[in-house]
Structure 1
């Protein structure tokens, strides 16, 4: 029960890694607010085993007003916000860079990058006022080892890492930590929707020769959310089967 009594907002948690993180937080005793876009029935199902006081809400992370409202409702409903997980994101199909449209580029950046900036921007005043907070942003191993045909996605995830480190250095002395998790290939709906040829190519590069499970990734979030991780500042934890070794 490493998170017993802690409060957490998990953004982007209806499926995949986000859902595994929400479930792990609940098992560790956290009182949670779960936010996703139009997935209230799914989120309500996750909450069946959650501590009293947990709830869910709708949030379109591409809208700053939605994100701001989600932060405010989480703080109001939970009484305070100890932990913020920014996990919402989208991928792309295999696209040669020279044929990449700027509409697609903007969609990826708005969802993957700007949403994280929105959430940190609106959560930090509360955390700094309390002199305590844990912010965990989902990046990707592709932030450290970019792959061909996914330039927009790689760029968005690398930017999350850089932004997280910058903000971490601003706020660490005030009791707030900011860190990233950079998952490798994981058995999620997004992975299963990817091009099978690319998936096979990626698995062949992994020393472990298999993809991870969402549950295997979620442990990194539990650690970063816990008091045990108080000395982790601007770090990237990389559960990725050995593809990136730092």
Structure 2
């Protein structure tokens, strides 16, 4: 489905991003795995992908820093010759707090990572994709953008911003061959889920129709679809693999 395609996954060392790298490689894509830190995890996933027969390499990026994001994208273009797919997946959350107890230094950190990082990625890949007349940008939002949870205002607001930003930019570039969409995962069995606290996880599971969190591979399948030719008519969409948390 993606044979011959060149992809850069920002936030690809662990969790959903790692599964996306694996799924892209399984479909034949070459993959750049970029993240902040996680040196062992980056090395192991690159070795795994290379062993499967695709080109893969690790890279370091801090999505809070525009120059760092620009550099990692330019490196991917030079390394591969071109870039077909960019996944903006880097994100952080917190343990949560009611609004009156919000730590606004942490709030700013969440927005710098979750929103600015996505914006920087789109800004610096678009000139290349628009020049080529083709490209797929896939941003990671969250089901909490559509169904916000109490005491997680910073994370919910940041992901709602990603969803709105995706739709805005998608309208700018769709007629020039570039699609921009986002994935809004529901509860997923990653380390980030449990940062919300045990009570948050317990309450969400009680209300979830499927009764369990997703595996990362179940979420990654949505990214493969959006990166493929089959998704050519998807523009500015929020695809929601969420186990029935929100239905429409």
Q: TM-score range by the shorter chain?
A: over 0.9
Please report the TM-score for the alignment, with normalisation by the length of structure 1: 0.97
The CA deviation string for residues 199-236 of structure 1, in whole angstroms up to 9 with x for no partner, is 00011111111111101000000000001100100001
Runs of 4 or more consecutive aligned structure 1 residues displaced over 6 Å after TM superposition: none
Counterparts of 1:40 and 1:24, CA distance in 2: 21
**Residue pairs, 1:1-246, within 5 angstroms:** 2-48=1-47, 49-50=49-50, 51-246=53-248
* Structure 1 residue 61 displacement after superposition: 0.8
The number of residue pairs the alignment matches comes to 245
The CA deviation string for residues 137-175 of structure 1, in whole angstroms up to 9 with x for no partner, is 000000001110000100000000000000000000000
Counterparts of 1:30 and 1:241, CA distance in 2: 28
8 A Cα contact 2:9 2:87, kept in partner: yes
8 A Cα contact 1:40 1:57, kept in partner: no
Please report the TM-score for the alignment, with normalisation by the length of structure 2: 0.97
Report the 3-state secondary structure (helix = DSSP H, G, I; strand = E; otherwise coil) of the residue aligned with 1:8.
Answer: strand
Q: Which stretches in structure 1 are left out of the alignment for 5+ residues?
A: none
Report the 3-state secondary structure (helix = DSSP H, G, I; strand = E; otherwise coil) of the residue aligned with 2:83.
Answer: coil
* Structure 1 residue 52 displacement after superposition: 4.6
Counterparts of 1:223 and 1:9, CA distance in 2: 16
Counterparts of 1:12 and 1:231, CA distance in 2: 26
Counterparts of 1:47 and 1:38, CA distance in 2: 14
Q: Which moved more, 1:52-61 or 1:65-74?
A: 52-61
Report the 3-state secondary structure (helix = DSSP H, G, I; strand = E; otherwise coil) of the residue aligned with 2:162.
Answer: helix
Report the 3-state secondary structure (helix = DSSP H, G, I; strand = E; otherwise coil) of the residue aligned with 1:32.
Answer: strand
Q: Which stretches in structure 2 are left out of the alignment for 5+ residues?
A: none
* Structure 1 residue 15 displacement after superposition: 1.1
Counterparts of 1:228 and 1:56, CA distance in 2: 28
**What's the RMSD between the two structures over aligned residues?**
1.0
* Structure 1 residue 117 displacement after superposition: 0.2
* Structure 1 residue 191 displacement after superposition: 1.3
Counterparts of 1:20 and 1:200, CA distance in 2: 24
Counterparts of 1:225 and 1:46, CA distance in 2: 20
Counterparts of 2:61 and 2:82, CA distance in 1: 19
